[in-house]
Structure 1
Amino acid sequence: MKPFLHLPPALRHRKFTLLWAGMLISVAGSQMQLWALFWHIRTLSDQPVAVSGVGVARFIPILLLSLFAGLMADRHNRRRLMLTTQSVMMLTALILAGLTAFGMIRLWHIYVLTALQAAAIAFDTPARQALIPNLLPKEDLPSAFSLNSIAMTTGSIVGPALSGVVIAYSGQEFTYLLNGISYLAVIAALIAMGEVPQQAAARLIAKRGIDWPAIRQGIRFILHSPIILSSMLLDFLATFFSSANTLLPFVAQDILRVGPVEYGWLAGAQSVGGIIAGLALSQRSNLHRQGIILMDAVLVFGAATVIFGLSRWFWLTFLALMLIGAADAVSTILRNTIRQLQTPDALRGRMVSINQIFFMGGPQLGEIEAGVVAQAFGVPAAIITGGLGCILAVGLVGWRWPELRRFNGDEPVLAGARSSAD
């Protein structure tokens, strides 16, 4: 009898395993800092719109730098680029810890340091996602991105839970300090993995520099790839309407009437659902009917968000957040798999950087929208209307791009995509 669980195919590749293990630790630290940051803002201000400042601080660097960052990931050594970005993010976390420890922290400090960290993320994400296909064969990519989802969701369970405990028993500054230390795990993994195949090609083209024609080439590729474009727009619209994570401290304190420890568990609830979904998908090397599964997952994401907004009970809120996390994990895995399979290696960095504007811009602009709506109409109204907007977005994208619904997962890369990479 074939066992239900076995070693995921992606973990048979040493270099990917090193990166995955480092990310598993680092994500926990990053998530601990993120949720502690939301709680920190709530202690500094009782106005829901204050959390919108985080969305602005995170989105502007992404918008301004992503296109250049993608070209950097295609033209330069992705591994070395990640070493630089991880070091910058570590430094910003340690500065945040120091300001908090000495009682000097103000809202504007949080916004500025968040913007600096977002600038590093703008370069880190294209380099990291474009590096993964260089570490293992394409048939193991669904397994790799499922494991990435597991790393993200595991860190997102451990990190938020730790944030509540650390805030309650040690102090806010220790959440930032521990996050700074956690970046060492990825830095060590990048050093240990050594050379990767992309590096040889990167050395040959590194001297070309950053140029607008190359950036426009990446944009044209996206515009002429309906599967990739529609998945990006679906991601943007869904997360714009349904992003309300920054409102969770207000839900915890003002609606559910719970403290920082319970808040930490709520913050990790999405990841509990996400890791279950990620573990199930990590067992698959080939997954068919990827388009329709993606769209169904986003529908569930929106419906669960409505339940989250309606709930007045701790455990119903926890379960709704679990369902949101599971649906988001399935959606994320499939979006990443679809895009990587449909993109030539020479364009992957630019594709990810353009996608970054969508998948990071949607949540950040969504957090701004949620804060403004919550300020005007209340926190529950902001969450409920966002979930309904997400459901409508799925219908709109499915009607406009039927190709996405029909996407199976074994289609070849378009000929035009191959030529645009030459």
Structure 2
Amino acid sequence: MAFDLEHHAPALRHRNFRLLWFGQAVSMTGSMMQNAAVLWHVSLLAGDSLKEKASALALVGLVKFAAIAVFALLGGVIADAFDRRKLMLVTQSAMALFALALAWLSWRGVDAVWPIYALTALTSAAGVIDGPARHALLPSLVPAHLFANAITLNTIVFHVAFVGGPALTGPVMQYLGLEWVYLVNALSFGAVIVALAAMRDLPATTKHERGEVSLAAAWEGIRFVFRVDLIRSSMLLDFFATFFASAKALLPIYAQDILKVGESGYGWLYSAEAVGALIGALFLARGAERIQCRGPWLLVAVGVYGLATIGFGLATSFAGAFAALAVGGIADSVSIVLRNVIRQEETPDRLRGRMTSVNMIFFMGGPQLGEYEAGVVAAYFGAATSVISGGVACIAATAWLAWKTPALVAYRKRPRDPSG
């Protein structure tokens, strides 16, 4: 079947969205390369025992979460108070500099792990300021009735990067060295910077529409999120799923000690979830608007994600592990799109940045705390036990939220607003 832009990707007809979409495709690929490389880098410096590796890898998630907890709310307030495009130019440039610093550390052969933790935390801090600005910019790039399509296309970019980035990381580390992974990521931020600079005719924001940088403004965003049942429950669902079922930090252990597939196999394991998510997102590009029972589909998707995590924990072969992670990725792509549609539909524009910043505490904090939790459990009970118990807990948390939040179970697609 030929690709029909009007049916599959109508959001790409809008120039400013198209610029950012292509820029993100390049930049996110570099970022995913770096994410995989950092875990591998830390595992090499941590020591030879499973407990040393698991503990050191757990700290990667902890330092990321610390940055998220400190800067996420500030990022949302800033995104609602300042020009979002200019703010992204600053954050993208900062992340490029941090990647260059990691490249220098690797090139110099520095064997201390704390500078990697520090630069990882700084990158996360810049990311949680960049994220609210990027998400809040979306309604300025496409009309409201194309939100679901634009979010799906962004999800496709994310997962293409998640497939391509780590898959490239293995060969680049093996044949060129870690420093080249970090250098490629630093250069990749230029694609978004160029895209942002090339945007034209963005809607102007009045002083009345902009928020102020204050604790009161941050608190207003928190109150809004916890007052709206659909937004609150979708964020809690995201947090519990990623906290309990996050196995990324343990992939170096699986690649080195359990499946014994080396650097190249590690890159593909890291990409496996995104392979499935990309497949799911490609179907959703045309089908997201057709999903009527959005709440039930969201709950089922997260439950399947938990089951796939259990399957990965039980896997004894590379093929089995890859397949389980890919199934989890398909489920996750459905969950991501539906969660984001709910939040965009339920949030007024003046609060989008702050809503997104609160969401990032859940969306990014869950996986990072989950990596810490997975590493600690693995250090004492083994990697497989850590992964399997996490999948079981994910399913239990999903069932509990479905029981506690009837509004989410009952959520259906809203009729299209003819003025949007």
Q: TM-score, structure 2 length as denominator? A: 0.94
What is the CA distance between 1:61 and its match in structure 2? 1.5
Supply the RMSD in Å over aligned alpha carbons.
1.5
SS of aligned partner of 1:200: coil
Encode CA deviations 1:347-402: one digit per residue, 9 max, x unaligned. 10010000111111111110010000000000000000000000001001000001
What is the CA distance between 1:287 and its match in structure 2? 3.2
Q: Does 1:217 align with 2:220?
A: yes
Please tell me whether the aligned partners of residues 313 and 388 of structure 2 are also in contact (alpha carbons under 8 angstroms): yes
The equivalent position to 1:338 in structure 2, one of 339, 342, 349, is 342
Q: Does 1:146 align with 2:152?
A: yes
Q: Does 1:268 align with 2:271?
A: yes
In structure 2, C-alpha distance between the alignment counterparts of 1:301 and 1:32, rounded to whole Å:
24
In structure 2, C-alpha distance between the alignment counterparts of 1:100 and 1:392, rounded to whole Å:
42
- Indicate the residue corresponding to 2:367 in structure 1: 363
What is the CA distance between 1:134 and its match in structure 2? 1.4
Call closer, same or farther: CA 1:77–1:336 in 2, change over 3 Å. same
In structure 2, C-alpha distance between the alignment counterparts of 1:298 and 1:61, rounded to whole Å:
26
The equivalent position to 1:354 in structure 2, one of 345, 352, 358, is 358
SS of aligned partner of 2:350: helix
Q: Does 1:374 align with 2:374?
A: no
In structure 2, C-alpha distance between the alignment counterparts of 1:147 and 1:409, rounded to whole Å:
19
Encode CA deviations 1:246-273: one digit per residue, 9 max, x unaligned. 1001001111011111111111111111
Please tell me whether the aligned partners of residues 306 and 383 of structure 1 are also in contact (alpha carbons under 8 angstroms): yes
**Letter aligned with residue 80 of structure 1:** K
Q: Does 1:26 align with 2:27?
A: yes
Encode CA deviations 1:126-169: one digit per residue, 9 max, x unaligned. 00011112110111111111111110000011100100000111
The equivalent position to 2:68 in structure 1, one of 41, 62, 65, is 62
> What's the % identity of the aligned pairs?
47
- Indicate the residue corresponding to 2:103 in structure 1: 97
In structure 1, C-alpha distance between the alignment counterparts of 2:110 and 2:45, rounded to whole Å:
12
Q: Does 1:106 align with 2:112?
A: yes
What are the equivalent positions in structure 2 for 1:308-319 lying under 5 Å apart? Answer: 308-319=312-323
Q: How many residues align?
A: 408
Q: Does 1:178 align with 2:179?
A: no
What are the equivalent positions in structure 2 for 1:4-403 lying under 5 Å apart? Answer: 5-7=3-5, 8-45=9-46, 46=48, 47=52, 48-197=54-203, 199-201=204-206, 209-284=212-287, 285-403=289-407
What is the CA distance between 1:325 and its match in structure 2? 1.1
Q: Which runs of 5+ in 1 are unaligned?
A: 414-422
Call closer, same or farther: CA 1:228–1:412 in 2, change over 3 Å. farther
Please tell me whether the aligned partners of residues 145 and 416 of structure 2 are also in contact (alpha carbons under 8 angstroms): no
In structure 2, C-alpha distance between the alignment counterparts of 1:105 and 1:343, rounded to whole Å:
47
SS of aligned partner of 1:409: coil
Encode CA deviations 1:7-37: one digit per residue, 9 max, x unaligned. 1111111111110100011111000111111
Please tell me whether the aligned partners of residues 139 and 286 of structure 1 are also in contact (alpha carbons under 8 angstroms): no
In structure 2, C-alpha distance between the alignment counterparts of 1:381 and 1:409, rounded to whole Å:
39
Call closer, same or farther: CA 1:108–1:166 in 2, change over 3 Å. same
Q: Which runs of 5+ in 2 are unaligned?
A: none
In structure 2, C-alpha distance between the alignment counterparts of 1:75 and 1:165, rounded to whole Å:
43
Name the stretch that deviates more: 356-365 or 99-108: 99-108
- Indicate the residue corresponding to 1:417 in structure 2: none
In structure 2, C-alpha distance between the alignment counterparts of 1:362 and 1:174, rounded to whole Å:
29
SS of aligned partner of 2:364: helix
Call closer, same or farther: CA 1:342–1:204 in 2, change over 3 Å. closer
Name the stretch that deviates more: 13-22 or 61-70: 61-70
Please tell me whether the aligned partners of residues 45 and 111 of structure 2 are also in contact (alpha carbons under 8 angstroms): no
In structure 2, C-alpha distance between the alignment counterparts of 1:393 and 1:133, rounded to whole Å:
32
**Letter aligned with residue 372 of structure 1:** V
Call closer, same or farther: CA 1:4–1:139 in 2, change over 3 Å. farther
In structure 1, C-alpha distance between the alignment counterparts of 2:413 and 2:69, rounded to whole Å:
30
SS of aligned partner of 2:198: helix
SS of aligned partner of 1:410: coil
Name the stretch that deviates more: 259-268 or 247-256: 259-268
**Letter aligned with residue 17 of structure 1:** R
In structure 2, C-alpha distance between the alignment counterparts of 1:139 and 1:372, rounded to whole Å:
44
